[in-house]
Amino acid sequence: MAVYTSCITSTLQPYVPSTENPWNEERVRHAFRRIGYDANKSTISNALSLAPDVFIDQLIDASLNAPHWPTPTWAEFTNDDYNNLGFDFDEQTQANQVELMIALVDQMQTVGLKSRLIMFWSNHFVTRLEDYYVSNHLYEYYNTLEIHALGNFQDFVRAIGTTGAMLVFLNGVENTSYSPNENYARELYELFTLGVDNGYTQNDIVETSKALTGYNHRVNWTYPINFDNSTFNETDKTIFGQTGNWGYDDVIDILFQEKAPLIAQHICKKLYKYFVSPTVNEDIVAAMANSFVLDFNIENVLRILFKSDHFFDQKSIGTQIKSPYDMTISYLKVTNFSLSPDFYQGMIYYNGVLGQNMFEPVDVAGWQSDRDWINSSTLGGRWEILQWFIWHTWNSYNEELRTLAVESSNNSNDPYVVTKTIIDRFMPLELFSIEDYQAATDVFKHDLPENYYENQIWNLQWDSVPYQVVLLLIHLIKFPEFQLK
The whole-angstrom distance between residue 197's C-alpha and the CA centroid of its chain comes to 27
Higher pLDDT, 269 or 341: 269
159, 148 Cβ separation under 8 angstroms: yes
- Give 94-144 pLDDT, tens digit per residue: 999 999 999 999 999 999 899 999 999 999 999 999 999 999 999 999 999
Please report the beta strands in 218-282, taking only residues with DSSP state E, as ranges in sequence order.
Answer: 226-227, 237-239, 242-244
Cα 338 to Cα 247: distance, rounded to the nearest angstrom: 52
Burial of 201 (0-12, 13-18, 19+ CB in 10 A): exposed
Candidates 471, 456, 415; CA nearest to 438 is: 415
Q: Is the pLDDT of residue 200 over 60?
A: yes
Rounded to whole angstroms, the Cα distance separating 1 from 320 reads 11
- For residue 295, the Cα-to-chain-centroid distance in whole angstroms is 24
Cα(266)–Cα(289) distance, rounded to whole angstroms?
8
49-71 average pLDDT score: 97
- Do residues 392 and 335 make contact, with C-beta atoms less than 8 angstroms apart? no
Per-residue pLDDT reduced to its tens digit, 218-245? 999 999 999 999 999 999 999 999 999 9
Rounded Cα–Cα distance for residues 286 and 474 (Å): 43
Report the candidate in 111, 217, 204, 216 with the shortest Cα–Cα distance to residue 174.
216
Q: Quick one: DSSP state of residue 222?
A: T
Helices (H), 74-151: 79-85, 89-110, 112-122, 129-132, 135-148
Percentage, residues of the chain above pLDDT 70: 99
Whole-number pLDDT of residue 3: 45
Measured CA to CA, the distance from residue 2 to residue 52 in angstroms comes to 29
Distances (CA, A) of 157 to 91, 172, 329: 32, 15, 29
Question: Can you state the angle between helices 343-353 and 324-335, rounded to 10 degrees?
Answer: 150
Work out the pLDDT band at 341, boundaries 50, 70, 90.
Answer: confident
pLDDT of residue 54: 98
| pLDDT of 6 | 63
The pTM assigned to this predicted structure is: 0.96
Lowest mean pLDDT segment, chosen from 58-62, 66-70, 352-356, 374-378 = 374-378
- Count how many residues are written for the chain: 485
Q: What is the rounded distance in angstroms from the CA atom of residue 478 to the CA atom of residue 444?
A: 14
Q: In the chain, pLDDT over 90 holds for what percent of residues? A: 93
Q: Residue 215 — φ and ψ, nearest 5°?
A: -90, 70
Q: pLDDT band at residue 473, thresholds of 50, 70 and 90? A: very high
Q: Is pLDDT above 60 for 5?
A: no
Q: Read off the pLDDT of residues 23-55 as tens digits, 9 standing for 90 and up.
A: 999 999 999 999 999 999 999 999 999 999 999
Q: Count other C-beta atoms under 10 Å from residue 368's C-beta.
A: 13
- SS3 string of 365-414? CCCCCHHHHCCHHHHHHHHHHHHHHHHHHHHHCCHHHHHHHHHHHCCCCC
Mean pLDDT calculated for residue range 14-19:
96
